Amino acid sequence: MLLSEPVNPGGYASYGLVILKDGKEIFKQGRLVAQGKEASNNVAEYSGLLAALLWLYKNNLQDAKIVVRADSKLVIYQMSVDPSIGRKWAMNKGLYIPIAMRCREGLKRFSNITFEWIPREENYLADELSKSVLKKMNVKFRIQPE
């Protein structure tokens, strides 16, 4: 889950991520990743994916079956590979491109990783983590309700 408040771009960008194994939480993190002109929801989305990939790699899970579930269609469709057409969505331009490219490089280290889009309502754990980061900073929410 990502968050960019109170404006996008240009506000505060945070992510929340939760890693589950056999239905049990084994890692969670919420973090501020940017503020001001470098902050956007896409920067937050890709920063969260990069943090998850780094954690998985550091914990020797490169060969585990990994399913990345996120409510960001941008991340899911830019990182997903369809055997018949390649990447589902192209990367064009934006603040997020350098982080997205690091994610693509990181994916090469994993042997069994897939991506699945889920609605935000099903991503409530990560949603709450990303919001809690900004609530602690007393950021006023305008785009997404608290």
- pLDDT: is 132 or 108 the higher one? 108
pLDDT of 8 over the 90 cut: no
Q: What is the pLDDT at residue 128? A: 86
Question: Dihedral of the CA atoms 82, 87, 89, 94 (nearest 10)?
Answer: 150
Note the pLDDT of residue 9: 77
All structural domains of the chain, each given as residue ranges with its CATH number in brackets, are: 2-136 (3.30.420.10)
Per-residue confidence at 5, pLDDT binned at 50, 70, 90? Answer: very low
Convert the pLDDT of each residue in 119-141 to its tens digit. Answer: 988 888 888 888 888 888 888 77
Phi, psi of 11 (to 5 degrees): -100, -130
**Residue 47 dihedral angles phi and psi, to the nearest 5°:** -65, -40
Position 108 confidence tier, pLDDT thresholds 50, 70, 90? very high
